[in-house]
Chains A and B, each alone.
Chain A
Amino acid sequence: MASQLLHAGFSAGLTFVLGASVLGVELRSQGVNTIVAVEGPMTWLWLGVAVVIVFFHQLFRPRIEALRRRTWGGSRFSLPPLLRNHAQRRLMIALVIGALLLFPFLAQRSAIDLATLTLIYVMLGLGLNVVVGLAGLLDLGYVGFYAVGAYTYALLNNYLGFSFWEALPLAGAVTALFGYLLGFPVLRLRGDYLAIVTLGFGEIIRILLNNWTELTGGPNGISRIPKPTLFNLEFSRRAEEGNIPFHEFFGIPYDPSYKVMYLYILALLLTLATVYVIYRLMRMPIGRAWEALREDDIACRSLGLNPTGIKLSAFTIGASFAGFAGAFFAARQGFISPESFTFIESAIVLAIVVLGGMGSQLGVILAAIAMTLLPEIAREFNEYRMLLFGLIMVMMMVWRPQGLLPLKRPQMELKRG
């Protein structure tokens, strides 16, 4: 009991030091001077409450844990299987896709736009999922590829007059090339180094885009990037020369929301394509190899797989999806500048992958929806968004590293005894 008491006292003291030093006092600016302000009694009261809670929690921790084990037993939380067989599954997928296609005709313009933005994050999450979730390579510079994709379309359009459809495959290809060129030397490194090198790479891309004013417009960015067309039909009030506006072609009155709806449907199709391609890849030998490599590097090598080549394929493919997402982002935005491609963006996409469950496509999709919609629904929450992202990443790793919806494979386990 004495050691328990000591431990509890220590924990309470630690809580007090942590809280009092950062939350209890504040540096404030007063004109040209800096002063230290002590927070009001309410803050100290809360701090006191926290200290007391920590003290008693630590004191009775063995008992609390025993109690919890007894009430919940050993069972861990997992989602019940929703769909039992293939037919049900197919039907469900068809229903969801149908609903998603119908959505723009029923919803308001701003909701459609928000859904488009969400789909961009779904694409990014799925792409990064290949690299982090399947191949187990921590890429902290994913935003660099996103930027390459966006700038590829913007620059091709600006200088060579490429349309969205001409530029889209090129954006994917250029980004894949970047992924290949960076991955080639770097993927021989161990995982931890990879994280920092990719982080540095993401920063270098941003700095170069910012510094190369002659080509990229530097911090001013590139503006007036045209929206995609539908077989050369434009969705604007007045079309550029040679093109016909969509509404004139069909003889219907002009409605600006057609453009937003079209963007949404495009995003949806791109996302569905992404989902499908990755789904197929996961079931191909290459996809199996990614996961095998993630689980055991040495075993793979002993089976004759070339780890660098396999990692490189994951890195390149993951990058190309960021390229597609980037090109689409540039089209939706109409204006891009380097400040849209900071490290925070990488962190958000990583948080999506982590929350969704590394390797699981459905999990990543749901996480992307949650992460983009939440700040829109609760505006006040915006201030705490990054704080919660960080917290989620830690808590998920500690409690549920496999994510909310982990990837499930048909498997058999040998039971001993």
Chain B
Amino acid sequence: MDELLYFLQQTINGLTIGSTYALIAIGYTMVYGIIGMINFAHGEIYMIGTYIAFIVITGLAMMGIDNTLFLIVAALLVSMIVASAHGFAVERVAYRPVRGSKRLIALISAIGMSIFLQNYMRLAQGSRDKAIPNLLPGGWEFGGKGFVVNLSYMQVIIFVVTLLSMGALALFISRSRLGRACRACSQDRGMANLLGINTDLVISMTFVIGAALAAVAGLLLGMYYGVVNPYIGFLAGLKAFTAAVLGGIGSIPGAMLGGLILGIAEALTGGYLSSEYKDVVAFGLLILILLFRPWGILGKPEVEKI
């Protein structure tokens, strides 16, 4: 019984970690699905979103506002706006000029942007950890006499918000006018242009939406872990990207699935093996999946067009 509860607890931990990866992974998957490039700087946008959320929460708290809901909503709005502005600017400065060139060139530009943003934030905000207190403490407990399973409010919120964001995004892509334009762009940009779609605008909007989602992730994970430093974006981005590739990059449910698989694999490694090998297992899993299904679990094999 205790063993079962322990397994349940580790699964819950894994689902939470996995949701956090998935939430960031959507941004990668969306940009990749539409313009076919890896936005390496996405993890840094998430990091910037966390900083902005922390600044808003701390600033408002200093002014004496202690309504938790108001704090969260204000932080969410501001960080979404600022992160979107960053996403927009990054696309304009580093990606649009190289859009016509080879893949390698766009990729190097993206890596450069990621290194730049990380160090820019380090110089602007310092490299030490900054923290905020826990806004939503507490949770539920259940289980037997031996092992007690804990499920905190934040864990549930993260899971639910990730699901909601996925759903909203899927709906947006399939139903809205802009979503249709996005799909048109991903299929054939030249043709979409000829048919009167402003492809530049569509691509900009893709980055803006991706960045806004990164800001949601930034706020939620910032509240969950309570700390931020300029380096969190790199690791989180790496894991999220791994999740996106695992699930099949370009596929939104794939990002969710990939995130959850990665999260649970990490939690179970930590729970039954050793935390030291969490990252080894994560990357090993990626290499293994890519060997047998290079297009990911839910992705479609790409047909090369000549």
Contacts and interface: CB of A to CB of B under 8 A. Distances in A.
Contact of A387 (B116, B131, B132, B276): B116
Interface stretch (A26-34, A64-72, A163-171, A308-316): A26-34
Contacts of A262: none
B103 A191 contact: yes
Centre residue among A196, A204, A343 by max chain B CB count within 10 A: A196
B107 A196 contact: no
Nearest to A298: B306
A413 interface: no
Chain B interface SS verdict (over half): helix
Contacts of B171: none
Given A138-B108, A204-B280, A401-B101, A387 B123 contact: yes
B85 A386 contact: no
B115 A386 contact: yes
A17 interface: yes
B85 A29 contact: no
Contact of A398 (B82, B94, B120, B283): B94
A280 to B, nearest CB: 25
A27 B47 CA distance: 14
A393 B115 contact: yes
Contacts of B55: 21, 25, 27, 36
Contacts of B58: 27, 34-36
Interface string A379-392: 00001101101111
Given A140-B111, A186-B290, A394-B112, A26 B279 contact: no
B245 A196 contact: yes
B294 A18 contact: no
A190 B249 CA distance: 12
Nearest to B283: A200
B286 A196 contact: yes
Contact of A192 (B48, B89, B103): B103
Interface string A177-213: 0000000011011111101110111011001100100
A23 interface: yes
Q: Which applies to chain A's interface (DSSP): helix, strand, loop or mixed?
A: helix
29 contacts: A14-B89, A17-B82, A18-B82, A23-B124, A27-B228, A34-B132, A185-B291, A186-B291, A189-B294, A190-B294, A196-B286, A197-B286, A197-B287, A200-B286, A201-B283, A203-B283, A204-B280, A204-B284, A347-B111, A354-B108, A387-B116, A387-B119, A390-B119, A394-B109, A394-B113, A397-B94, A397-B105, A398-B93, A401-B105
B114 interface: yes
B interface, how many residues as a size bin? 35 or more
B63 to A, nearest CB: 10
A149 interface: no
B97 A34 contact: no
B120 A387 contact: yes
A192 B242 CA distance: 12
A204 B279 CA distance: 8
Interface in A331-363: 343, 347, 350-351, 354
B46 interface: no
A293 to B, nearest CB: 12
Interface size class of A (residues with CB under 8 A): 35 or more
A243 B278 CA distance: 47
A140 B130 CA distance: 30
Contacts of B306: 298
Nearest to A15: B89
A390 B114 contact: yes
Contact of B238 (A199, A211, A354, A391): A199
Given A387-B115, A393-B111, 5 more contacts: A26-B125, A29-B130, A34-B54, A211-B276, A351-B112
Contacts, number: 170
Interface in B17-59: 37-38, 48, 51-52, 54-55, 58-59
Interface string B151-175: 0000000000000000000000000
A397 B107 CA distance: 9
Contacts of B106: 397
Given A29-B130, A201-B283, A22 B108 contact: no
Contact of A27 (B98, B125, B287): B125
B81 A193 contact: no
A25 B123 CA distance: 13
A190 B17 CA distance: 28
A394 B116 contact: yes
B107 A393 contact: no
Given A22-B48, A195-B107, A393-B115, A204 B283 contact: yes
A83 B37 CA distance: 40
B105 A22 contact: no
B121 interface: yes
A188 B294 CA distance: 9
A14 B85 contact: yes
Given A22-B51, A27-B54, A138 B104 contact: yes
Contact of B294 (A36, A193, A391): A193
Closest 9 CB pairs of A and B: A393-B112, A390-B116, A390-B115, A200-B283, A397-B109, A387-B119, A394-B112, A36-B59, A27-B130
B51 A393 contact: no
A189 B290 contact: yes
Contacts of A23: 124
A28 to B, nearest CB: 8
